[in-house]
Structure 1
Amino acid sequence: MNATRPGLVHAAGQDLNSMTVAQRDALMKANVDGLKPLQVVGLRPPRPLVAWEFNLADPHDQKALDYLANRGVDLDMLGALLMASGLIGAGHGRPLSWITYAGAYYVAYLLKIVTGGAPLPHDVAGFVGGMQVYLGQQVYDVATMAAGCPGMPVGLDRIAASLRIHLPWGSPRLAGAVCVRALLAFRIWKHGEFGGNVERFRGLLQGLQ
């Protein structure tokens, strides 16, 4: 899962590395609570893999909201549709793995969607707890994993090039293409660099921990 833009409206130029975990969490909460997810565009590669991206916008941009409403996008139904999909929550019946890249904000926006726009939890423990309730235990961030690979470059485009991952079906515009590259990087590392054992990266999100 990924988002097309990072969605920062507060302290966009601030150095996150100079902040404490609690400060990063507070900044993430302010940004995510101040923006509204607009649309989910999906891609389903060969089962059981699923990837999607979603767009973000200022909730006060009524023009954009009206445009999407006129196109038949029901913003209030996004969370309900995901909950009913069987992918979210304890009732999905089978353990799932969630793969993201630099994922603290993207997980936060997904929580925002599935909770119907409820404010994010007030602290890191609450956020992680919410992540586990809706997504389960198997959440992995490719950006965090890249830091555990000696010599691996920074940035998903460079990581994909280093691993010889090509854009899916040759199209950079394909919905979910960024997500697919993150997913393929995870699979390559899991069965190569880390010998099938990636548990030490479980639940560690770039931009938060």
Structure 2
Amino acid sequence: MLEIEMITKNYPYCAFDTEFPGFLRSSPRDALQEVRYEDLKFNVDRLKLIQIGFSFSDKNGNKPPVSTYQFNFNDFDPRKDAYVSASIDLLTRNGIDMEKNLREGVDPGIFSGWFTQIMIRNPNMKWITFHGFYDLGYLMKTLMRNTPLPSSLGGFLKGVRVTLRNVYDVKYMSRFCNGLLGGKLGLERLGSIMNVERLQCIFTISPL
């Protein structure tokens, strides 16, 4: 956390992504924003964040020597917490060890306390996500120490503005850029069109 605090002074752009136990309720693609938020709140309030990753850069895309950090949390227990089997199977196949998380993962309350202080000391951080409605929902829930999300979409967006200040959703932005298929594309396809190389990250685990 001390490393991250130092990094954000010169590399304030933070791309982030979350992993969670699936969707208990899903909205149709053409649903109104308010309906989509009702489902987001229903899911996020009842499910627990499993993992969050951050990657830092400056406004020109330059990165520090260590730029990417991944946190696995210790309070999701598939023996007693709600989840969708297909989602947990996918995460397990991609290397997330749920039992190890329970033993060695980060306490989300401790994480929230540290990370909130980083944000206070570095108010110019910029947040970057891709199709990040749920990423924002789980990040806000974690920073608010598992407080239920606001009852309305307007209340949620106000909370995001006050807490995170500057948020950029790349998928939404791509809708307005020539050659990006009107935003109807996934992250891998977007990277291919823009000639961005996909890199395999190697993580080292250290105590909090």
TM-score (normalised: structure 1): 0.66
Contact kept in structure 2, 1:2 and 1:54, CA below 8 Å = no
Change in Cα spacing, 1:121 to 1:76, as seen in structure 2 (3 Å) is same
Matched, 1:165 2:180: no
Change in Cα spacing, 1:80 to 1:50, as seen in structure 2 (3 Å) is farther
Q: CA deviation at 1:5?
A: 5.7
Contact kept in structure 2, 1:79 and 1:116, CA below 8 Å = yes
Q: How many residues align?
A: 164
Q: CA deviation at 1:67?
A: 3.6
CA distance in structure 2 between the partners assigned to 1:56 and 1:149 by the alignment: 37
Structure 2, gaps ≥5 residues long = 1-15, 58-62, 81-96, 204-208
Matched, 1:61 2:78: yes
Change in Cα spacing, 1:21 to 1:129, as seen in structure 2 (3 Å) is same
Matched, 1:16 2:29: yes
Matched, 1:32 2:44: yes
Contact kept in structure 2, 1:3 and 1:54, CA below 8 Å = no
Q: What does residue 115 of structure 2 align with?
A: 82
Contact kept in structure 1, 2:75 and 2:102, CA below 8 Å = no
Aligned-pair RMSD on alpha carbons?
3.1
CA distance in structure 2 between the partners assigned to 1:161 and 1:5 by the alignment: 26
Q: What does residue 3 of structure 1 align with?
A: 18
Kindly report which structure 2 residues correspond to 1:99-110, keeping only aligned pairs within 5 A, or say none: 99-110=128-139
Change in Cα spacing, 1:32 to 1:58, as seen in structure 2 (3 Å) is farther
Q: Identity across aligned pairs (percent)?
A: 26
Q: What does residue 145 of structure 1 align with?
A: 173
Q: Compare 154-163 and 75-84 and name the one that shifted more.
A: 75-84
Matched, 1:129 2:129: no
Q: Compare 111-120 and 37-46 and name the one that shifted more.
A: 37-46
Q: CA deviation at 1:61?
A: 1.4
Contact kept in structure 2, 1:79 and 1:113, CA below 8 Å = yes
CA distance in structure 1 between the partners assigned to 2:177 and 2:72 by the alignment: 30
CA distance in structure 2 between the partners assigned to 1:95 and 1:150 by the alignment: 29
- Cα offsets for 1:64-104 (capped at 9, x unmatched): 776423225323312112112x2x3xx33542211110011
